[in-house]
């Protein structure tokens, strides 16, 4: 054995033959991997060992990519096949079987990874299907039930964006669900269109009804029949409220006309009432003075003088005329208190002098009857003239006098 053969035989993975042929040792036997003519056998072995190291480096790099990154299984398998072929035909010296074993391990690992990816993909598709079924179900509910058109339309647009953001599923299911979603959007748009078409028709009917109300309000704006016309305006206002709403433009225009007519009438009425109240203020001043005069009777010390004084006050009181409504109750009530005090004094006097008490009671009855006759005449004149306020004042005064008369007659009866 020469020096070359001794040197080569020390390498466990390959040798260089006498003719320069380089062999790699494998489990299946030796395989020629190249020829070396330019130098020593050790240089040849070192060169082909470097080729092996390059190949081992590629295997190691693939292992790192498979284990440390999310390299797709298909891409990993393609790389394994390519490296497996490179190892099988490698022009290199080294433990090629070890590289093949490492590639087998990677193949098993990639297979597991493929199953994991498949399971994850199936899970993602199931999740995506659940999401899209929820989207479709909500869209169909909106299409069938929602009457909040603006928010409903906005929600449908959001659902379409959610659909686009969700993962894709199998084509058949995707197409079927998308068809339902599109149908729901179409049904919603159709129902909304029908609603607004009906709403337009309804609003047109409301507009016509309010046109009639406004026309009637404008026709009576110049009326001076204050009581009856005010009642008509109240009724027209109630009709307006019950009619519903027209379109905003028509509603604003009709309301401006209605309010203008109403304001015209009530402003005219207020002006007349203000003028009348000014004239009644003088009457109130007279009755204030008469009430002060009547209150001087109290406490009653002389029944005859008190009654005579009160009788004179009552005569001037009736002649003074009506007063503003806000003062009437106070003035009438004040005079009534004086009358009640005099009557109580008369009752006490009656116990001491029955004939005189009866005469006084008769006088009071006569006086109240005369007052009632005068008030009835005033009421008749007011009714004939259509003066609603005067009518009301006369009626209220009559109620008070009749109440007094009833009490006076009851007292007179007690003397009989």
CA 257 to chain centre: 31
Burial call 250-264: b when 16+ CB within 10 Å, e when fewer: bbeebeebbeebbee
Q: Kindly state whether residues 105 and 21 are assigned to the same domain.
A: yes
Q: Point out which residues pair with 21 in neighbouring strands.
A: 35
pLDDT at 75: 87
Please answer whether residues 38 and 75 qualify as being in contact, where contact means their C-beta atoms are separated by less than 8 angstroms: no
Q: Collapse the DSSP code of 288 into the 3-class scheme (helix H, G, I; strand E, B; otherwise coil) and give the result.
A: helix
Backbone dihedral region of 104: left (phi > 0), alpha (psi from -120 to 50 degrees) or beta? Answer: alpha
Q: Kindly state whether residues 303 and 341 are assigned to the same domain.
A: yes
Q: What is the CA radius of gyration of the chain?
A: 58
Please answer whether residues 291 and 335 qualify as being in contact, where contact means their C-beta atoms are separated by less than 8 angstroms: yes
Q: Collapse the DSSP code of 128 into the 3-class scheme (helix H, G, I; strand E, B; otherwise coil) and give the result.
A: helix
Q: Kindly state whether residues 298 and 286 are assigned to the same domain.
A: yes
pLDDT at 245: 84
Q: Kindly state whether residues 280 and 367 are assigned to the same domain.
A: no
Burial call 214-236: b when 16+ CB within 10 Å, e when fewer: bebbbebbeeeebeebbebbeeb
pLDDT at 6: 42
In a domain, 285, yes or no: yes
Please answer whether residues 368 and 405 qualify as being in contact, where contact means their C-beta atoms are separated by less than 8 angstroms: yes
Q: How far is CA 97 from CA 24, 87, 94, 376, in A?
A: 11, 9, 9, 136
Q: Kindly state whether residues 63 and 85 are assigned to the same domain.
A: yes
Task: Mark the ranges of the chain whose per-residue pLDDT is less than 70.
Answer: 1-10, 351-354, 357, 415-416
For residue 401, count CB atoms less than 10 angstroms from its CB and return exposed for 0-12, middle for 13-18, buried for 19 or more.
Answer: buried
Q: In what order do the strands lie in the sheet with 14-16?
A: 14-16, 21-26, 29-35
Q: How far apart are the first and last CA of the chain?
A: 178
Q: Kindly state whether residues 343 and 383 are assigned to the same domain.
A: no
Give CA angle at 403 (397, 407), nearest 5°.
Answer: 145
Q: Point out which residues pair with 35 in neighbouring strands.
A: 21
Q: Kindly state whether residues 111 and 18 are assigned to the same domain.
A: yes
Please answer whether residues 317 and 328 qualify as being in contact, where contact means their C-beta atoms are separated by less than 8 angstroms: no
Domain end residue (candidates: 65, 98, 121): 121
Q: Kindly state whether residues 367 and 343 are assigned to the same domain.
A: no
pLDDT at 357: 67
Q: Collapse the DSSP code of 376 into the 3-class scheme (helix H, G, I; strand E, B; otherwise coil) and give the result.
A: helix
Q: Kindly state whether residues 101 and 76 are assigned to the same domain.
A: yes
Q: CA-CA distance, 36 to 47, in Å (whole number)? A: 10
Please answer whether residues 282 and 319 qualify as being in contact, where contact means their C-beta atoms are separated by less than 8 angstroms: no
pLDDT at 2: 40
Total count of domains within the chain: 3
Please answer whether residues 300 and 341 qualify as being in contact, where contact means their C-beta atoms are separated by less than 8 angstroms: yes
In a domain, 29, yes or no: yes
CA 124 to chain centre: 38
The parent domain of residue 377 ranges over 355-414
């Amino acid at each position: 054995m020469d020096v070359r053969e001794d040197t080569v035989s020390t390498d466990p993975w390959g040798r260089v033959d006498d003719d320069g042929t380089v062999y790699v040792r494998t489990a299946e036997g030796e395989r020629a991997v190249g020829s070396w003519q330019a130098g020593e056998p050790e240089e040849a072995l070192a060169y082909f060992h470097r080729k092996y190291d390059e190949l081992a480096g590629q295997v190691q790099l693939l292992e790192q990519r498979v284990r440390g990154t999310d390299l797709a299984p298909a891409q990993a398998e393609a790389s394994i096949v390519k490296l497996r072929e490179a190892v099988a035909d490698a022009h290199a010296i080294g433990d090629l079987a070890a590289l093949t074993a490492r590639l087998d391990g990677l193949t098993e690992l990639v297979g597991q990874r493929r199953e994991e990816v498949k399971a994850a993909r199936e899970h993602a598709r199931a999740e995506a299907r659940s999401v899209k079924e929820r989207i479709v179900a909500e869209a169909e509910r909106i299409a069938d039930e929602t009457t909040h058109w603006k928010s409903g339309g906005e929600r449908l647009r959001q659902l379409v964006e959610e659909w686009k953001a969700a993962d894709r599923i199998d084509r058949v299911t995707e197409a079927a669900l998308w068809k339902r979603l599109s149908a729901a959007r179409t049904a919603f748009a159709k129902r909304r269109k029908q609603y607004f078409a009906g709403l337009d028709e309804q609003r047109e009917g409301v507009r016509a009804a309010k046109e009639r109300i406004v026309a009637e309000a404008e026709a009576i704006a110049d009326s001076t029949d204050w009581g009856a016309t005010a009642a008509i305006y109240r009724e027209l206002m109630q009709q307006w409220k019950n009619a519903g709403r027209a379109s905003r433009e028509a509603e604003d225009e009709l309301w401006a006309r209605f309010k203008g007519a109403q304001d015209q009438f009530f402003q005219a009425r207020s002006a007349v009432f203000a003028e009348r109240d000014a004239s009644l203020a003088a009457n109130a001043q007279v009755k204030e003075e008469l009430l002060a005069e009547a209150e001087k009777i109290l406490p009653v010390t002389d029944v005859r003088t008190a009654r005579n004084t009160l009788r004179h006050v009552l005569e001037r009181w009736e002649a003074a005329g009506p007063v503003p409504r806000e003062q009437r109750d106070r003035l009438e009530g004040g005079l009534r208190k004086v009358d009640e005090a005099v009557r109580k004094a008369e009752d006490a006097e009656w116990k001491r002098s029955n004939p005189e008490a009866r005469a006084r009671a008769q006088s009071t009855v006569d006086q109240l009857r005369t007052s009632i006759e005068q008030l009835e005449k005033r009421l008749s004149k007011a009714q004939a003239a259509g003066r609603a306020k005067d009518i009301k004042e006369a009626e209220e005064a009559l109620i008070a006098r009749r109440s007094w008369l009833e009490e006076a007659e009851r007292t007179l009866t007690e003397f009989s």
